[in-house]
Structure 1
Amino acid sequence: MLKLIAAVCLRFGVTSMTRSPQIQGMMLCIRGTTLVLAAALLQLSCGSSQNEPTVIRFWGLGNEGEMVRPLIPEFERANPGIRVIVQQLPWTAAHEKLLTAFAGESTPDVSQLGNTWLAEFSVLNALEPLDRFVRQSRIVQLDDYFDGVLKMNRIDSSLFGIPWYVDTRVIYYRRDLLQKAGYTEPPATWQEMLRLCEIMQRKAREEGRKQYPFFLPTNEWIPAIVLGAQSGGDFLRDDNTRGNFSGPKFRKAFSLLASFYEKEYSPSGQQLITNMYNSFSDGLITMYISGPWNIGEFGRRIAPKLQNEWMTAPVPSMDTAYPGASLPLGTSLVVFRQSRHKEAAWKLIEFLASREQSIALYRITGNLPPRKSAWEDSSLAHNPYVRAFYRQMQRLEPLPQVPEWEQIVIKLQLYVEYIATGTLTVEEALGRFDREVDQMLAKRRWLVERRKQP
């Protein structure tokens, strides 16, 4: 720098031998030249930073964290000023990793989030409300989403997530075994389902075979909550601060679940079914509630000779309306409040949530789109195995939006096992369970009661 200044001054005839007025001129020259050079360097620096792309981080969970990578180049081509860094997190570690990142102020800009986690992260004030972005968007049209799925993304009237894919549950069944019992598809009501199970079990015994017509694993909370969602009662009461599982409506649903174990229509212990796919192929089990990922698994793991003998159907109903309600599970795309690039983060969400990319994700992963318009695509419209899912998504019942929900349903599995094995009666199990839920919700109850104080 000094050499450059000296050269400039020499160019204008200023030397160290110059007398006082000339020295003053030299100093002015130096100052002026320094300002010119500083301005030039600043301009170069600004120009350099303006040319650098905005880098946003996206965390994908499980298989999607890997499968989303082929979609990103198209986004970057359409948005040359944005670069996306994708990090894959295993589902088993994702929840803890996200909480740790929030505590350490190192959250990503955009993340995939299980929609039952939204309440927890919104309470932490970790998520950016998306309403203002949606109002200006021509891509994310909320009326194009299945209603039950969208409701899972709203908390206290604010939208915190954009649905990415849906993991609702339907019935997988053996068509050939149902036909032997005189049915072409699973019944529309649970009472008729019990009659079908009785017929199938009687025929199996006459043939000297062991059969569990409807496999309801005791280490899964989904069947119990599906029945509870159909009962018309609320899982929680008093502003979601206390358990309501021992109330008459959920007790009726839980009693129905218990009857499948009492009559041995479903095994009461996990050790009896060591491999569900083999048991399904062997005819040991005939029906099973599961999600869309099992379409691919059944295609790979069910015996080849039976590939035309299995199908999917919506879940039965506890009333006359068919199908019965199922659950709007799945994942959503969120922007973390700590992001310094929220506008760029929203552009990525818009891209991934578009109709076209919803279809692309389905073709890559088998994950079902939450947008109604995506189901018009031939890859979905002509697939017989996903038709039941489309019909099921017309009737989804949102779950309570409380941070403790995951903890509650995991504990529920223990009480499902208690009633399946006869360790507790339905009334005993639900009474104890409600007391445990009340303990889980103690902090929430304190906060709600405090807000009500004048």
Structure 2
Amino acid sequence: MKRRLLALACVSATLLSGCGLVPGSEPERQTVTVWVMQHSASQEYLDRFTEEFEREHTQIDLDVRVQEWTGIGEKVQQALETADPGGPDVIEVGNTQVATYAEGDGLLDLTLESMRDWGRDEWLPGLAEPGRWGSQQYGIPWYAANRVVVYRKDLFREAGITAPPKTRDEWLTLTEKLDTGDDQGIYLAGQDWYTLAGFIWEEGGELATERNGVWRGTLDSPEALRGMDFYRRLQALGDGPVDADEEHPPQAGVFADGRVAQIVAVPGVVRAVLKQNPELEGKLGYFPVPGRTAGTPGAVFTGGSDLVVPANTDAREAAIEVVAALTGKRWNTELARTMNYVPNKTSLAGAVAEEEGIAAMAAGAAQGRATPGTPQWSAVEADNPIKEYMTKVLRGADPAREAERAAERITEALAFD
């Protein structure tokens, strides 16, 4: 409706002047409705951004609305399909969900805009790659979070370990030294498939690949099998259950209650650990998941959010200005500092260097990845064959045979439309 009214105004104004160019007329004031997810940004941050953005863009009003994650997928899809005058013009979405929304032509192609001066060459790959659908960029990276190794400094000292490992081989050797019987070298649940994904990517493998528009599972590749073998060797150096993931039981509680030297988790887990065991205050440290070579952290799954613009927006240019501001250096850096996130560009990692856990996360994020960029990946996670595969291998089943079976199930799930 807003588009129709604007078109009628253009026609009725004058054929000679053109819309918005009537002598003496003022540019039309626009309201940009922004959907951000609950807990993604503090209210104080959103208030400051709104105030300063509106001061710098006098013809734009912001209407920032906080959304809950529960049921957000259906709500976003409805907004993309309905030309509602009160609908969103900018939406925060999970980085792995961009393909789902882009598939139905519901998002504005931001490829040209992102090539202007947005620093796209420095975007974190784990946010930028899933923000693409085909060769177009629909999602603009906003913030990221990923796993690091959280460790007990006191247990490291007791074992005579003076520094975190620099390579995966060193990590195994160090963890074996920490695994004394009384202490667990590491607590790694048997179905922590996000951590496994990082090991597979580090070996050069993939969870699934696409060729000529057809996706197939690739857990049975030599590279993916090497990633699983590393996981098996590391997981054996602790008492993590082979038939459960990191939330069953929550690994924060296990880490807080026992003499566990390491866990693989986002740094924010430490808040829960210290709440359950305040005596660990000052005893915890962080380092990036090690890679195969010294000086380069290992690949990790990157979670986080991208910003998208619905194709049916009536405030295209104004919405793009909002995206540019939120993902630009100033406000993106402030968001990272405020919420303990990784900024959206590798060049901004220094902004969080003073926080040990966030600095470790930022170093790993430079090697970050995301799940395969197909809307059907959600079908894989709904009945996740990767978890079952991991448990069977950890219980002694033949890795190659089980990987082939899991890869076939992934292929079947990805073929579902």
Partner of 1:7: none
Partner of 1:61: 37
CA contact (8 A) 2:126 2:303 kept: no
Distance 1:404 1:305 in 2: 45
Counterpart mapping for 1:185-264 below 5 A: 185-202=163-180, 205=181, 209=182, 211-218=183-190, 220-239=192-211, 241-262=215-236, 264=238
Partner of 1:407: 379
Which 5+ residue runs of structure 2 have no aligned equivalent? 1-12, 14-21
CA, structure 1 residues 245+135, in 2 after alignment: closer, same or farther (shift >3 Å)? closer
Counterpart mapping for 1:115-134 below 5 A: 115-134=95-114
CA, structure 1 residues 92+189, in 2 after alignment: closer, same or farther (shift >3 Å)? farther
- Tell me which protein shows more helix as a share of its residues: 1
Distance 2:346 2:235 in 1: 37
Counterpart mapping for 1:252-291 below 5 A: 252-262=226-236, 264-270=238-244, 274-291=249-266
CA RMSD of aligned residues (A): 3.2
Distance 1:434 1:346 in 2: 40
The yes-or-no answer on 1:391 pairing with 2:325 is no
Distance 1:269 1:184 in 2: 34
Distance 2:174 2:137 in 1: 43
Question: How far 1:218 moved relative to its partner?
Answer: 4.1
Distance 1:356 1:271 in 2: 38
Distance 2:100 2:111 in 1: 19
Partner of 1:73: 51
Partner of 1:98: 76
Q: How many residues align?
A: 389
Q: Deviations over 1:202-252 (max 9, x none)?
A: 2xx3xxx3x432222345421111111111123324515111111221122
Question: How far 1:128 moved relative to its partner?
Answer: 0.8
CA contact (8 A) 2:32 2:61 kept: yes
CA contact (8 A) 1:242 1:438 kept: yes
CA contact (8 A) 2:34 2:88 kept: yes
CA contact (8 A) 2:145 2:302 kept: yes
Q: Deviations over 1:356-392 (max 9, x none)?
A: 1112212332222113443344xx2322232212322
Q: Deviations over 1:100-133 (max 9, x none)?
A: 3334455521111111111222222111111232
- Bigger mean CA offset, 124-133 vs 233-242: 233-242
TM-score of the pair, normalised by structure 1: 0.76
Partner of 1:371: 345
CA, structure 1 residues 421+134, in 2 after alignment: closer, same or farther (shift >3 Å)? closer
CA contact (8 A) 2:220 2:400 kept: yes
CA, structure 1 residues 431+376, in 2 after alignment: closer, same or farther (shift >3 Å)? closer
Partner of 1:435: 408
**Which of the pair has more CA radius of gyration?**
1
> Secondary structure at the residue paired with 2:409?
helix
Question: How far 1:50 moved relative to its partner?
Answer: 6.3
Partner of 1:426: 399
Residue identity matched to 2:304: G
Identity, % of aligned pairs?
23
- Which 4+ residue blocks in structure 1 deviate beyond 6 angstroms? 49-52
CA, structure 1 residues 100+414, in 2 after alignment: closer, same or farther (shift >3 Å)? farther
The yes-or-no answer on 1:84 pairing with 2:62 is yes
Distance 2:176 2:115 in 1: 54
Distance 2:112 2:210 in 1: 31
Q: Deviations over 1:312-334 (max 9, x none)?
A: 10112245663222233321111
- Bigger mean CA offset, 263-272 vs 149-158: 263-272
